Amino acid sequence: MTDVYASPTSMEPLLPVAGRETLAKLTCDILAASGRLTGQVHAPEVLRRVAGLVREMNCYYSNLIEGHKTTPRDIERALKQDFSADETQRNHQQLGLAHIAVEKLMVDRLAGETVDVYGAEFICWLHREFYQRLPEPLHWAETLGGQSYRIEPGRLRDFMVDVGRHTPPQFDALPRFLSRFHQFYGSRELIETDRLTAIAAAHHRLAWIHPFGDGNGRVIRLHSQALMIHHGLDGGGLWTLSRGLARQRQRYYDHLQAADLGRRNDLDGRGNLSDAGLATFCQFFLETVLDQIQFMSGLLGLPALRTRVERYFQFETVHLKLYREELMRVVRTLIDEGEISRTRVQEITGKGATVSAEIIKLGLQEGLVDSPSPKGPLQPGFPPKIHEFYFPQLFVDLPADESARDGR
């Protein structure tokens, strides 16, 4: 087996032949759903704020996939540098913070320069940026045998590992595997109708290569997101793959493991690995993408979102004795338009300047209204207390089942 895993041909096929019709239909459905999703958010400021919320959600679910349970409020406190006294929970907060920071850095880099997203440099950059943001104790991991080793940020592993039942390639062959990965998936000859399937296949094959000593799962999910952004398939940042994978965590690992298997028989493709296994993983991946786009599309439909905003004010703001109805009108307008001037509050509420200033002050205190400066325009606020009302099921408290992990 060692000789086989020294050659990049051992990870063939890189694109499945089986299930092509099903994968093609899923691709068409995803493209159509993605277009509908981005068309539902008309206000750029709302899009930006929801995308920021999704970034926090991405970190929350990526932690859950790794077996690290961190609540949205834990993340919010970490963003304010308020860390738990419990060491384990504090470590989880640090992991979440690093994920959010690297994701934002990645999005900005992809928007600002031409990036070779399939190249080893970019993949190592993701790993380096993530681990550089972690405290020293989180730079260490253990082998299955209990031996400690240090994770060097951005450096390919220089030792052998076992990932569940899978033995990844020899460490000295990693540059060759990553070169083949880059050559195939980054090729301009790959037709666009195969692009989403190729992104799914690349997700598995990068996990199969297992380039780093630890942190591979987080890097691979960030990399898949980068591929979606690069190819214009991320819906403006309004949905996340990690939520879908976390909700099916055991199935995700099962499909990864099934695609690790060798070719079963003469009808299972022509490569070293199972063509059917890769096709099934790609179908699972694309079905997850479609499900998450449709989920977010349902949440962001304006009529339903307005109704949920009204319900929040009906049930969760009874402590407000004055101007509750007026504040609701302001918040609903902000959800529709994204940004308004302070003087517009008088028009929306029918109140004079003094009372309108009080309404603005109340909205800012409640976190339901935000502003870039003391006299600046007003924007919608999305504090954690409104998440379950405005965006039900966006953050779902899932069990962190350590037994589901396979070491990726």
| pLDDT tens digits for range 107-158 | 999 999 999 999 999 999 999 999 999 999 999 988 767 788 899 999 999 9
Residue with tokens 């006294």: 85
Same domain, 106 and 219: yes
CATH code (residue 238)? 1.10.3290.10
Same domain, 280 and 308: no
| pLDDT tens digits for range 353-373 | 999 999 999 999 999 999 999
Same domain, 284 and 157: yes
The confidence score (pLDDT) of residue 403 equals 38
| pLDDT tens digits for range 108-121 | 999 999 999 999 99
Same domain, 296 and 306: no
CATH code (residue 384)? 1.10.10.10
Tell me whether residue 401 is in a domain.
no
Mean pLDDT of the chain: 92
The 3-state DSSP class for residue 142 equals strand
How many domains does one find in the chain?
2
CA nearest 391: which of 139, 116, 53, 65? Answer: 53
CA–CA distance, 199 with 230 (Å, rounded to integer): 11
Q: Maximum CA pair distance of the chain?
A: 80
The confidence score (pLDDT) of residue 407 equals 54
Provide the terminal-to-terminal Cα distance of the chain, rounded to the nearest Å. 20
Same domain, 258 and 319: no
Q: Is the pLDDT of residue 3 over 80?
A: no
Residue with tokens 């009874």: 318
Same domain, 317 and 383: yes
Same domain, 328 and 235: no
Same domain, 174 and 277: yes
Q: Is the pLDDT of residue 23 over 80?
A: yes
Q: Give the domain extent around 254.
A: 4-10+18-300
The confidence score (pLDDT) of residue 384 equals 85
Same domain, 133 and 211: yes
Query: Would you say 163 and 210 are in contact if contact means Cβ atoms under 8 Å apart?
Result: yes
